[in-house]
Amino acid sequence: MKFILPVVLLFQFVNAFSQKVTSSCIAPDDIIKLYQSDADRLTITKFKTTNSPYLDSVQIPKAHSDTFLRALLAVYNASALPCRDSIVSLYNIHCFPYINLNDITIVADPNTQWMKNLKDNVTPTGNTYIDNLISKFKLKKVSYSENNPNPPGHLVRFKAEVNCNIEALKTAFKKDINVYSAYASSIIGDGSRIGATIQSDYVQLDYQYRWGDCPAGCIYNHHWIINVYYDCSVELVSNYGDLYNSSNLFFNTMPRLSVYPNPVTNELTVYGLNPLFRYKILDIQGQLLEEGITYNGHISSFDAFYSGLYLLQVFIDDQIFSFRILKE
């Protein structure tokens, strides 16, 4: 449905709904992978807001994460839900602020034998405690750097093959006396997001589409409040916030473009257009990281980027189409 607004103004729109639709909490592996990180981020956020004892756990408890994952999958599968296409297809809403789940860098004494072994790609390193962390959380060394801007210490960057509570992992690494510090990559700015609370009968999800100068803090915001019941039925209970004018909010006169997978690990594919097009990749601050031309619709350079939020711009004739891309 396309709304026609006669003037270019922003309005506050409020609507309420009370209609359950049946859905399913079961999905193919690629869709589960698409929302698993959202579920894990919602779990960590819940632990922070409730000051849960699980906040010190590096491993994200599956029972907690699965509660959010089932709710997210139910919304994804709810084809009869009035706002489903906006949330899933048009705006591709995922969690923000972006909580790092896989990337950690430690700064440690380069004179220890275990650091020398890491530098030379020798594993196990000989440090039982460090080796246990590497093995337990499936950490792979990404890089070793002697160029530490804040000496002493050399830098070792790891990437976890499984999602972790990186804040807790930082604390775990720093228990070794030769590890001076640990940090995770992060991003600044603002963006669309998902909020969640767990109630006795349902999980309530707050999908927010945010826009307008988001690198400095989004100006405008629209909410869809959805209850997901434990039988996987779904109910849109509220729909409110700012509205664009029609030329900006609705894109049904434009090509139906989509990107997959998003979040991405290595290669991204743009669907819905001729596979030959020009593109740019920018960071959240708008700095150009890469530009080029693809001849097959695939962009395979994301494995070179740190985990975080990026902007992909696709150029078609005189139009620019932008996508927020999460790199895991």
* pLDDT at residue number 162: 93
If one compares 130 and 273, the residue with the highest pLDDT of the two is 130
| pLDDT value for 317 | 66
How high is the pLDDT of residue 246?
32
CATH number, domain 258-327 = 2.60.40.3080
Is the confidence at residue 10, as pLDDT, over 50? no
Q: What is the Cα–Cα distance from 249 to 252, expressed in whole angstroms?
A: 10
pLDDT at residue 293 in the model: 85
Distance, in Å, from the CA atom of 163 to the CA atom of 102, rounded to the nearest integer, reads: 6
**β-sheet bridge partners, residue 105:** 157, 183
Q: Which pTM value belongs to this model?
A: 0.73
Domains 103-177 and 258-327 share a fold: no
pLDDT in tens, 100-152: 999 999 999 999 999 999 999 999 999 999 999 999 999 999 999 998 777 78
Domain ranges of the chain: 11-98+188-249, 103-177, 258-327
CB environment 243-254: b (16+ within 10 A), e (fewer)? bbbeeebbeeee
pLDDT tens sequence across 286-328: 788 898 888 888 898 888 888 888 888 888 766 777 888 888 8
Higher-confidence residue of 98 and 29: namely 29
Domain 103-177 has CATH 3.30.70: yes
pLDDT at 25 over 50: yes
Tokens of 274: 């001729």
Which pLDDT score is estimated for 158? 96
Q: Is the peptide bond before 61 cis (omega within 30 degrees of 0)?
A: no
Phi, psi of 40, rounded to the nearest 5 degrees: -70, -40
